[in-house]
Amino acid sequence: MSTDSQKSPFNSSVLEFKSSTFSVPVLILSSNDLKLIDEQLQAKIKLAPEFFKNSPVVLDLLELNKQNIEIDIEMLVGLIQNSKLLLVGFRGGTPQQNTKILDLGIPVYSASSNIGSNETQKQKTLHTHQTQETAKENHPIETTATLITQPIRSGQRIYAAGDLIVLAQVSAGAEIMAEGNIHVYSVMRGRALAGVQGNHEARIFCSDLQAELVSIAGTYKISEDLDESVRNKPVQVYLQNDNLIIKDIL
Amino acid sequence: MARIIVVTSGKGGVGKTTTSAAIAMGLAKKGHKTAVIDFDVGLRNLDLIMGCERRVVYDFINVINGEATLNQALIRDKNCNLLYILPASQTRDKDALSQEGVGKILEDLSKDFKYIVCDSPAGIERGAHLAMYFADDAFVVTNPEVSSVRDSDRMLGILSSKSRRAERNQEPIKEYLLLSRYSSERVKLGEMLSVDDVQEILSLHLLGVIPESKSVLNASNSGMPVILDEKSDAGQAYADIVARYLGEDKPHRFIDDKKGFFGKLFNRSK
């Protein structure tokens, strides 16, 4: 959902649209008391001023709307801007709120999952989960691993918020995704996407690579691009300088 | 309580109805009261394969809609008095099947029968879904070719996630592989996937291999389940499958793949 114009190596075109996912802190509000929000936000920022300076942030209104609490959108936007955070979007708003937000020129994201941002990507947003937890305002990410012991069959999709560990085969036509690392201790024939929320440090490990597609934080290789030397054996997949590296685990 | 078996595949034309008819007959012949239900509403075939098409009065949908009782709709097989057939409706479509209706019928049948065999339609839509939803065991019929194997894999995924057992967090459906239309000659020529190839992709317990056989077509055309043709290779293969399902230890036959895993493991009797 964002542009990546600087890296386009093509002569014919000076721009290119690419899909990409970023990890952005989400601020979940559970009160409409702007004074209280401001106080607590400033307190948080004081804890790590460098981290929050110019950091992109998405505001989540879902909790408020679940409890039918109205909030003044314009005042809220002003408050965030004064705190030196860069507001890059809202989610979880009501249709009326969304109209108001769009009128202000701020993007609206769907409430459920992927939050993209076309703001300059800050290195700090790509830190480990611990750093993100402090940014997430008492809503730490659950980083526990998901364990799957049954075969993942064609047509099945598995999504893990943390790491994903699979002790059985992943069939062709199946799709496994994790915000963290993926481990498959069997044949990996389907599609494996690690770091789907933008974690460039995520890796894929499998004991027999026959995948249709492997991807780390949006950088992917399809089966046809896999070198014969890495097929049908235990390998790891990781990102190095934005290149997808596939090699022996040891 | 009856044991509910679904015969399924995803792909069409692989031998689901032939298998349903054969194993239902096999179970009944072993002395177990068995019902076989045709879930292929709108394209009913089971009654033809079982040779009872002329005796159909009421069907599955009539019973679901309360227009007939189960006893009125069940047809007793002419070869075995422990086997009953519940035919599909030819004039309706699969939307006429309701989960409550199917559940009620299976519950009623369970009181009286030992085994209930559900002949699933092809595909993964409503008919196929309801056929497998209540199952305890699944016989996944696969042909040794890639698209059939892929569809079976898809079906196995649905069995493990969309069944009643899955929804209730009960012990999962027991899945068995039946490899049908197998030709060891064509496997040797490299034209067909071997048992090992299929096993590697599906990693499923192999209940039996049914060889490609003229006797299957003959049996279908004459309305006699092929298992009754005791001289035929396919008939024997199904008899072995029923025996293995009931816990007998029968060596695998009809694989005849010298390099194969099973060839090494089992002494072939033929």
Q: How confident is the model at residue A10 (pLDDT cuts 50, 70, 90)?
A: low
Asked if A164 and A199 touch (Cβ cutoff 8 Å), the reply is: no
8-state DSSP, B7: E
Q: What are the pLDDT digits (tens) for A112-153?
A: 543 333 333 333 333 334 434 444 444 555 558 999 999 999
Q: What is the pLDDT of residue B262?
A: 52
Q: What DSSP letter does each residue of B111-150 carry, written as one string?
A: HH-SEEEEEPPSSSSHHHHHHHHT-SEEEEEE-SSHHHHH
Q: What is the pLDDT of residue A119?
A: 34
Q: What DSSP letter does each residue of A21-63 carry, written as one string?
A: -----EEE-----HHHHHHHHHHHHHHSHHHHTT-EEEEE-HH
Q: What is the pLDDT of residue A25?
A: 80
Contacts of A136 (CB under 8 A, 6+ apart): A25, A26, A27, A28
Flag whether pLDDT at B217 surpasses 50: yes
Residues of B in contact with A154 (CB under 8 A): 150, 153-154, 157
How far apart CA A40 and CA B96 sit, in angstroms, is: 59
Query: Bigger pLDDT: A44 or A18?
Result: A44
Residues of A in contact with B153 (CB under 8 A): 153-155, 171-173
Q: How confident is the model at residue B258 (pLDDT cuts 50, 70, 90)?
A: very low
The answer to whether the CB atoms of A173 and B154 lie below 8 A apart is yes
User: Is-above-0.80 flag for pTM?
Assistant: no
Q: What is the pLDDT of residue A88?
A: 87
Residues of A in contact with B154 (CB under 8 A): 153-155, 173
What is the H or E stretch that residue B72 is in? helix B70-73
The answer to whether the CB atoms of B161 and A169 lie below 8 A apart is no
The answer to whether the CB atoms of B203 and A150 lie below 8 A apart is no
A188: closest chain B residue by CA: B201
Q: What is the pLDDT of residue A126?
A: 36
How far apart CA A111 and CA B43 sit, in angstroms, is: 44
Q: How far is CA A237 from CA A28, A100, A163, A234, in A?
A: 34, 44, 14, 10
What is the average per-residue pLDDT within A31-46?
Answer: 85
Contacts of A128 (CB under 8 A, 6+ apart): A201
Q: State the greatest distance between any 2 C-alpha atoms of chain B, in Å, as a whole number.
A: 57
Q: How far is CA B29 from CA A52, B21, B80, B237, in A?
A: 76, 12, 7, 15
What is the average per-residue pLDDT within A51-58?
Answer: 82
Q: What are the pLDDT digits (tens) for A57-103?
A: 888 888 888 888 888 888 888 888 888 888 888 888 888 888 888 88
Number of alpha carbons in the 13 Å side-chain half-sphere of residue A237: 35
Three-state SS at A6: coil
Flag whether pLDDT at B211 surpasses 90: yes
CB count within 10 Å of CB B214 equals 10
How far apart CA A161 and CA A146 sit, in angstroms, is: 8
